[in-house]
């Protein structure tokens, strides 16, 4: 008999480590902010590899097959789409929508005009953003439901096509809104310790294996 696994049992939960909801909120907004910056880095890696691959093909330069390079490259869209979905799509525990709904119910924030204003801006962003709508479609119809008909059909789906709706300027807007949310809640600015990823390091990692 197959035992159904409760996914909630597999999720590492840090709630018990916080003294109150404000501490949890502080941690959670930081987590979303940092993850979006990591996704930006992942997009840069993907685009750099794609451009270098295209350049080598166009110039007739030989590119030997590498299983490691192929696996690494095709895994990048999964991190990007699933990561963006976790933050921008739906009402799950880690989503931005769930976060602002929680803030709206917290005594220390729900009556503050500046908090209500940024929450309204975030709701508008989530409801009207075309990129979010498109990544929802890719997540639901490809990543989450890759059924047997797709797998064994003559049509092979390349995960990298899911990158087509990604708009880095829209991700930047999301990061800005999360930063503003943190600032009105905690009266200080978020920061991300970003160590510049060099193009030459990416190309070396992917093409000199």
Within-domain flag for 179 = yes
Question: What's the token pair of residue 84?
Answer: 């963006």
Q: What are phi and psi of 144, to 5 degrees?
A: -85, -25
Residue 135 resides in a domain: yes
pLDDT in tens, 57-78: 899 988 888 888 888 888 898 8
- Its sign, for the CA torsion 166, 167, 168, 172, is negative
**What's the distance, Cα to Cα, between the start and end of the chain in Å?**
45
- Window from 10-14, 81-85, 105-109, 194-198 with minimum mean pLDDT: 10-14
Residue 39: predicted pLDDT: 96
The token duo for 134 is 């498109």
75 part of a folded domain? yes
- Is 71 a domain residue? yes
Q: What is the pLDDT of residues 129-144, one digit of tens each?
A: 999 998 888 877 766 6
Q: Please report the beta strands in 4-148, taking only residues with DSSP state E, as ranges in sequence order.
A: none
Segments forming the whole domain that contains residue 199:
20-50+64-207
Q: Considering its fold, how many domains does the chain have in total?
A: 1
Any domain includes 37: yes
Q: What is the mean pLDDT of residues 32-56?
A: 94
DSSP, collapsed to helix, strand or coil, labels residue 26 as helix
């Amino acid at each position: 008999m197959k035992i159904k696994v409760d996914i909630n049992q597999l999720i590492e939960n840090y709630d018990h480590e916080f003294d109150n909801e404000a501490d949890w909120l502080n941690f959670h907004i930081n987590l979303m902010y940092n993850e979006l910056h990591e996704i930006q880095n992942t997009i840069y890696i993907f685009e750099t590899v794609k451009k270098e691959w295209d350049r080598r093909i166009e110039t007739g330069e030989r590119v030997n097959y590498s299983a490691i390079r192929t696996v690494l490259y095709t895994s990048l869209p999964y991190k990007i789409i699933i990561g963006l979905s976790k933050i921008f799509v739906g009402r799950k525990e880690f989503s931005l929508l769930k976060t602002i709904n929680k803030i709206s119910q917290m005594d220390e924030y729900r009556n503050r005009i500046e908090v209500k204003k940024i929450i309204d801006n975030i709701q508008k962003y989530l409801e009207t953003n075309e990129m979010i709508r498109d990544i929802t479609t890719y997540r639901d119809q490809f990543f989450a439901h890759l059924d047997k008909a797709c797998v064994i059909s003559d049509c092979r789906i390349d995960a990298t096509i899911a990158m087509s709706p990604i708009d880095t300027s829209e991700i930047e807007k999301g990061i800005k809104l999360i930063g503003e949310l943190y600032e009105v809640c905690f009266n200080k600015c978020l920061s991300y310790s970003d160590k510049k990823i060099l193009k030459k390091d990416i190309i070396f990692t992917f093409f000199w294996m």
